[in-house]
Structure 1
């Protein structure tokens, strides 16, 4: 049996793990990443690439704003362009209730340092004439943007190789336990890994890891519904999202329009399969045409999905284990983790090495699931069938 001994081991090789290892390495600690498939193969590589700050869960804003500042420096940090672009984001209201929601959010977000601009119907028509006439207004954030998720983890992996950080790919951790010397991990491939500190960043499979340490959580999986059109003449700079989350649309510099729609599709974490149902393609095409009429004749050239981990409250688990010292969790980002990743990595490195961080994490504690460790199947059916799961 092959044995390794490291200070920090990270289970999972997605964007959260990669950014965490990056920040640790910059401070002289070379974590070992253990990934069951290949780095960035699931949620980190198949997501929409939204760099949206506005509209987030309010206690998440300190982390989100810190992340956006790091994304602004990503090309310098990583040495390559991962197509981070700050093109802005419009949160479009199609009725009075949605308009009221974004107006109240703008007031509440100001306390965290985020100041989206509320734009009424007439100004909307002047500034974004391609938005459908039935839109009643929107919230505009110039800070927000997008990134190419297919480029991010490969760029981080290359940077980590240059920092002599090891990523073990194709290694499934099947057991882990705490003993007097730290943690002992065993892989399906027959390797033993010992570490002083353990980070659970296993994404859709993180619930299995937390359960090994007496912390079961109601994690469930689903697949994003993504599609892209043929290249079209460039006309829309900001990302457009309807307030209810039913459709998100952006155009890349090459002219293709990328579309995400909710609810998400089925996923199987055991078989490692996810698919976008055919009916979703037609539904999303109609939604796009309804809110951006000039796209009504666009042709879809590709659809895709992946496996994402969710919590029923749509809030991730971040922070120390409630049962085991030296164990940290960061998982179930519920479809909105890509933007948070660089700040999450910085915060995790601070907690691991310093024992504290100025960025608060209390709202994301795993302890909130002590009273309920099972998925509420009826809740999920209502959320997904009704199409109101939010990004």
Structure 2
């Protein structure tokens, strides 16, 4: 089996069937930067469509049922636990056993587990030609011998649309990324990671004191699809947003800003399915900002499909065939992208009445 990752660096993973079959024993038990997880609902995030309080309670119950030890906190509890937070908190769900993973650290650990199971990783390997004949995919690269396999997994993130189109399946995928910021080192006061359910606050602090935060609105990638720059105005807006909830950060200096290139779809749902145009081709892209979080589940579902086993989850809502007809735009587009981005996207896909998911 071949899996094409980021098409810019064109990372290729070649794996044996045993390497993709789900096996918890193959994953390294390493420290991947876990931290207690706090989800908080804020007044600033109230919308007429959702009930933030109900959303927060649901989040807490879901986490508790999953074994994370989640507990809900009311405003008085929030102020007692986090006196540095303004009075905008409506409800918090605290999960001492829920983890926030650092992709930079955890991804290599998973990759090493795959290599131990018999797979190979070819980094900085540009794919220059793809073909499918006689039941085999042939992948030609710029610096390695041609590779062939009966199965190809398209997991190329923001570049996956060009691969699916190459094999006859067009999607309205577009590229964007969330702006992220790092402050100067400050006293270490924030142990849990803080996430606002409805939007503009994603915050954690590392032991050496730097605060790392991100939020909406997201930024569209450049037309070349290779980079996502963060305009200075978004840095200022981001600081204003975080200081509304944490006044102590109002005058903090920002020392670094960055973003990335992620794949988004107008319904904000991923594609997790076998190709309906090319036998042996499987798609896993369009996580719309949540791909890293759901990657283990997506990998398990596709591994079961590829190995011919039964998948207990209904994957039909994530089929690539849904783009054969107009789809509903998610209301999250308006919530997570600014007006300028929405205008730029207007001609990218056919408008449909928004959903309320």
Fold shared per TM-score above 0.5: yes
RMSD of equivalent CA atoms: 3.7
Could you tell me how far 1:383 is from its partner in structure 2?
A: 5.8
Q: Tell me which of 70, 81, 84 is aligned to 2:31.
A: 81
Whole-Å separation in 1 of the counterparts to 2:60 and 2:75:
22
Which consecutive residues of structure 1, in runs of 5 or more, have no partner in the other structure? 1-7, 32-65
CA contact (8 A) 1:276 1:304 kept: yes
User: In the alignment, does 2:199 pair up with 1:245?
Assistant: yes
CA contact (8 A) 1:225 1:276 kept: yes
Q: Give the number of equivalent residue pairs.
A: 333
SS in structure 2 at match of 1:338: helix
Range that drifts further, 204-213 or 126-135: 126-135
> CA, structure 1 residues 87+272, in 2 after alignment: closer, same or farther (shift >3 Å)?
same
CA contact (8 A) 1:92 1:240 kept: no
User: In the alignment, does 2:47 pair up with 1:92?
Assistant: no
> CA, structure 1 residues 352+367, in 2 after alignment: closer, same or farther (shift >3 Å)?
same
CA contact (8 A) 2:28 2:109 kept: yes
SS in structure 2 at match of 1:354: coil
Residue 182 of structure 1 is matched in structure 2 by 136
Residue 354 of structure 2 is matched in structure 1 by none
Could you tell me how far 1:161 is from its partner in structure 2?
A: 4.2
Could you tell me how far 1:87 is from its partner in structure 2?
A: 0.4
User: In the alignment, does 2:13 pair up with 1:10?
Assistant: no
> CA, structure 1 residues 323+95, in 2 after alignment: closer, same or farther (shift >3 Å)?
same
CA contact (8 A) 2:56 2:92 kept: no
Could you tell me how far 1:190 is from its partner in structure 2?
A: 7.8
> CA, structure 1 residues 386+238, in 2 after alignment: closer, same or farther (shift >3 Å)?
farther
Could you tell me how far 1:384 is from its partner in structure 2?
A: 2.0
1:78-131 Cα offsets, whole Å, 9 max, x none, are 264322x14012222215946823415644985894596443222221222221
Whole-Å separation in 2 of the counterparts to 1:104 and 1:289:
24
Task: Calculate the TM-score normalised by the size of structure 2.
Answer: 0.79
Residue 52 of structure 2 is matched in structure 1 by 101
User: In the alignment, does 2:279 pair up with 1:325?
Assistant: yes
Whole-Å separation in 2 of the counterparts to 1:183 and 1:303:
40
Whole-Å separation in 1 of the counterparts to 2:121 and 2:88:
50
Whole-Å separation in 2 of the counterparts to 1:188 and 1:96:
48
Task: Calculate the TM-score normalised by the size of structure 1.
Answer: 0.73
Which consecutive residues of structure 2, in runs of 5 or more, have no partner in the other structure? 343-357
Q: Tell me which of 18, 22, 33 is aligned to 1:28.
A: 18
1:149-207 Cα offsets, whole Å, 9 max, x none, are 22233333444444442222233334433322322233355853221111000111100
Residue 5 of structure 1 is matched in structure 2 by none
Whole-Å separation in 2 of the counterparts to 1:134 and 1:108:
18
Equivalences for residues 212-291 of structure 1 within 5 A: 212-268=166-222, 270=224, 272-291=226-245
User: In the alignment, does 2:340 pair up with 1:350?
Assistant: no
Whole-Å separation in 2 of the counterparts to 1:360 and 1:184:
31
